[in-house]
A and B are shown apart, each in its own frame.
Chain A
Amino acid sequence: MLLKINDLSGGYGSKKVLHHINISVHQGELVGLIGLNGAGKSTTIKHILGLLPVKSGEILINGVSLEQDEQMYRKQVAYIPEQPMLYEQLTLREHLRLMAQGYAVEEKQAQERIEHYAARLRMTKQLEWFPSVFSKGMKQKAMILCALITGSELLIVDEPFVGLDPLAIRELLTIFSELKADGKGILMSTHILETAERHCNRFILLNEGQIAAEGTTQELRQRYELSNGSLDDIYVAAIEEAER
């Protein structure tokens, strides 16, 4: 199992946001993390990335926790944040070199990945640009490139489609499919349920820091007795049930 979260409780300082959650992501799997604003999606992601300390429970990536081997843990996970955060003083190509170097990617392989993914996301021309002249969509593509260049086993993705043009969304989804076929795992937080329904293998629905529902679209339909219901319908039903 690529990502295993066991009985995780956590949050910011003394404020507890997550309550005993269990999540798993297998190799070759795209898991959708969905929930209302403030449900705990971003907090979960920050815990996985080691940006917030775990209060109780454990997070393992390929059986390794952050405390056991920080370098090994971090090397196996890459992140695409919702808000693009780039170094103002580095060009896009320099960002990609830095990420490749920092994730111990071979130089030749890094060069190949840079050219390959930049071309696919139509960013070749922008490789020598500074982020200050990027549009919002370009910044988001730059963050996607930074994550893809690492070749990490697990990709954590937070609202990846915000600001992207339709062609880029389509290409990103194709890349996700290829990564899955290559045995990588992806945990994706999103509010775009229609796209998620078509591409995710499973869903985890968070509500107030707890897992309200979990499973494939088919399993969730059975669970909420919505035989022809879309993920939208399931989502609404799950939230209503959780709030009752």
Chain B
Amino acid sequence: MTSSVLWRTRYQTAMVEMTKYTRYMANGGLLFTVYFVVLYGLVVYGRFLDQLNPDFPGNLVMGSLFILLAFYRSTRTFLVEADQVFLLPVLPDLANYMKRVRVYNAFYGLIRAIIPFLAVSVLYVRTEDTTPVELFVLFAALSMVGAAANLSKLEGVGHRIVLLYATGAGVLVMLGMGLFSIVVTSLLLLTIYLKKQDQLPLMDWISLEQESRDRFYRIANWFVDVPRLSTTYKRRRLLSHLVEKIGFDHKRTFDYLYLKQFIRSTDGIGLIVRLTLIGVLFMWLGKDNAWLVTLAVPAFGGLTSFQLAPFTRAIDSHLLTRLLPFGDATASKRKVLRLASFLQVVILSLAGFILSGFATVFVGAIAALVIGEYYARKK
């Protein structure tokens, strides 16, 4: 099999798979909530920009973006597990395939920089004396960071090297020397180029693809069952110890199972923490407007409840779950969802009230609890 045939078939297969899941996702009700939250975010951000003090340190935000973008690395190699056997005979002839994978990942890194850059640049132009040339250079440098982050993973270059260069570029932007940032990011790309692998590191690239697919499938799994999704779990000793306190009663079997799942999976408590923090941030940005703060509670509460609702799906179909004679799975699931929704709504409303002083947040809290109950009852 030649490099170009391999690339074409793998790329097409991956795109068909992605399109399939994206279509499922587009049919889901979550998209409505996502659109709502995005629109809400834009309104809040727009108001924040309108009231922005010209002394606001826009250069610090732009500089921080360089560092933040370098933190995230995502690569696709389009290789599958079976390739460790079937691609072995042609491994030395896959230079062209490697080149295409590199181009794809560099391009993807560049694309990833666009939206954050646009979001920050509208703030930057209001607070800094800048020119179109400087903005173009900043965008080019930021795109290079995005591309380099992805490529470094492909070439086995340490993440700390990317972070180091990106921090250097970010500091230059913060010091008002944004035009020089491109020199640092060019050096970063040059370093990665010099360390590029000559022969395809088959096992590493297969793992990278698996990791990347899992990330996509985890998102897709909110909308539709994704078969054989592998997930990593954290032990979370303190919370786990609390769950162990559940009575050793056969009627509470599923309380135990679901709470363990809830505290250990990133789609459980991790999801609530992330969305609550973002919700609080939004409320802080829109704290002068009662409606924005009030709506944030049901918006983020609803988004969390929607995403949490299927959190037991993976274990409900598990063989051991199906064999368990005792316990009420539905009641236990509802219990966990209600508890999670209640705790999040309490935190969001208190944060909203403390930040804004508007008592209307408690109306939002009631709406959020109603949405949470709807998803808890939904089969």
Kindly state whether residue A146 has any CB partner on chain B within 8 Å: yes
Q: Encode B305-326 as 1/0 by CB contact (under 8 A) with A.
A: 0000000000100111011111
Stretch from B72-80, B245-253, B281-289 forming part of the interface with A: B245-253
Give the bracket for the number of chain A residues in contact with chain B.
20 to 34
Q: Which of A50-72 contact B (CB under 8 A)?
A: 51, 70-72
A101 touches B264 (CB 8 A): no
Report chain A residues within 8 Å CB of B320: 85-87, 95, 98-99, 146
Kindly state whether residue A89 has any CB partner on chain B within 8 Å: yes
Kindly state whether residue B327 has any CB partner on chain A within 8 Å: yes
A101 touches B231 (CB 8 A): no
Contacts known (A89-B261, A110-B248, A130-B233); A103 close to B318, Cβ less than 8 A: no
CA distance A122 to B230 in the complex (A): 28
Kindly state whether residue B256 has any CB partner on chain A within 8 Å: yes
Q: Which residue of A lies closest to B231 (CB)?
A: A88
Q: Which residue of B lies closest to A100 (CB)?
A: B248
Within 8 Å by CB of A89, from B233, B252, B322, B325, lies B233
Kindly state whether residue A161 has any CB partner on chain B within 8 Å: no
B260 touches A103 (CB 8 A): no
Q: Which of A65-103 contact B (CB under 8 A)?
A: 70-75, 78-79, 81, 85-90, 94-95, 97-103
Report chain B residues within 8 Å CB of A100: 248
CA distance A97 to B320 in the complex (A): 13
Q: Which residue of A lies closest to B268 (CB)?
A: A89
Count of B interface residues, CB-CB < 8 Å: 26
B260 touches A49 (CB 8 A): no
B318 touches A102 (CB 8 A): no
Contacts known (A98-B256, A102-B250); A89 close to B324, Cβ less than 8 A: no
Q: Chain A's interface: helix, strand, loop or mixed, by majority?
A: helix
Q: Which of B146-203 contact A (CB under 8 A)?
A: none
CA distance A89 to B324 in the complex (A): 17
Kindly state whether residue A167 has any CB partner on chain B within 8 Å: no
Q: Encode B221-252 as 1/0 by CB contact (under 8 A) with A.
A: 00000000011110100000000000011101
A97 touches B250 (CB 8 A): no
B260 touches A94 (CB 8 A): yes
Residue from B233, B257, B325 whose CB has the most chain A CB atoms within 10 Å: B325
A89 touches B264 (CB 8 A): yes
A81 touches B319 (CB 8 A): yes
Within 8 Å by CB of B252, from A51, A81, A90, A101, lies A101
Report chain A residues within 8 Å CB of B232: 132
Kindly state whether residue A112 has any CB partner on chain B within 8 Å: no
A74 touches B324 (CB 8 A): yes
Least Cβ–Cβ distance between B240 and chain A, in angstroms? 8
B326 touches A103 (CB 8 A): yes
Within 8 Å by CB of A104, from B231, B235, B325, lies B325
Q: Which residue of A lies closest to B233 (CB)?
A: A89
B231 touches A102 (CB 8 A): no
Report chain B residues within 8 Å CB of A51: 319, 322
B249 touches A101 (CB 8 A): yes
Least Cβ–Cβ distance between A46 and chain B, in angstroms? 10
Kindly state whether residue B265 has any CB partner on chain A within 8 Å: yes
Q: Which residue of B lies closest to A103 (CB)?
A: B325
Report chain A residues within 8 Å CB of B323: 49, 74, 78-79
Kindly state whether residue A107 has any CB partner on chain B within 8 Å: yes
Report chain B residues within 8 Å CB of A71: 325-326
Within 8 Å by CB of A75, from B252, B257, B325, lies B325
Report chain A residues within 8 Å CB of B322: 51
A102 touches B324 (CB 8 A): yes
> What are the 9 closest A-B residue pairs judged by CB atoms, nearest first?
A74-B325, A102-B324, A104-B250, A107-B248, A102-B253, A89-B264, A75-B325, A89-B233, A85-B319
Q: 6 pairs across A/B with beta carbons < 8 Å?
A: A51-B322, A89-B260, A102-B253, A102-B325, A104-B250, A110-B248
Binding site for B on A (CB under 8 A): 49, 51, 70-75, 78-79, 81, 85-90, 94-95, 97-104, 107, 110, 130, 132, 146
What 16 new A-B contacts, CB under 8 Å, besides A70-B325, A97-B248, A132-B233?
A71-B326, A75-B325, A79-B319, A85-B320, A86-B320, A87-B261, A87-B320, A89-B231, A89-B265, A98-B256, A98-B324, A100-B248, A101-B253, A101-B326, A102-B324, A146-B320
